[in-house]
Amino acid sequence: MLSILLGHTVSLIDKYAFESRSRSGCSNSDYQLCQTECCGRFGVEDDELLDFYFDPTDLTRHIFIGHDVSCPFCGKQGWNFIEIDDFAEMPAEWRWAAPRDLRERL
């Protein structure tokens, strides 16, 4: 509730945990868990560098979404995604990247 009042939501993706595996990003990178609207798959967006990570087991696999690219899962053109901020909706394969306090609530 507090985070909504402050005008930003707390990300489900912990920057430190994510970058310790991805070895990428930049100091201004922030990460959001996203779900595609076309096929309902999950990925992680770096909203500074506009990279979209789509494989939780291989973070070298990402695409640059600043250009017109098709969905990495189903190939749809003009795809979109929504940001997920409810831990309950976070798929198991991405939970290693969640902030520790959320992971320990399991």
Cβ neighbors of 16 (< 8 A, separation 6 or more) are: none
39 contacts Zn ion (rule: CB under 5 A): yes
Alpha helices in the chain (DSSP H): 2-5, 15-22, 100-103
CB of 31 to Zn ion, least distance (A): 20
CB of 82 to Zn ion, least distance (A): 12
Give whichever of 71 and 90 is closer to Zn ion, judged by the CB atom.
71
38 contacts Zn ion (rule: CB under 5 A): yes
Give whichever of 66 and 75 is closer to Zn ion, judged by the CB atom.
75
| Beta-strand runs (E) in the chain | 31-36, 42-46, 51-53, 62-64, 81-83
DSSP-based three-state secondary structure for 104: coil
Tokens found for residue 82:
């929504």
Distance between CA atoms of residues 94 and 43, nearest Å: 8
Give whichever of 41 and 103 is closer to Zn ion, judged by the CB atom.
41
102 contacts Zn ion (rule: CB under 5 A): no
Binding positions for Zn ion, 60-79, rule CB under 5 A: 71, 73-74, 76
36 contacts Zn ion (rule: CB under 5 A): yes
Q: Which residues bind Zn ion (CB under 5 A)?
A: 36, 38-39, 71, 73-74, 76
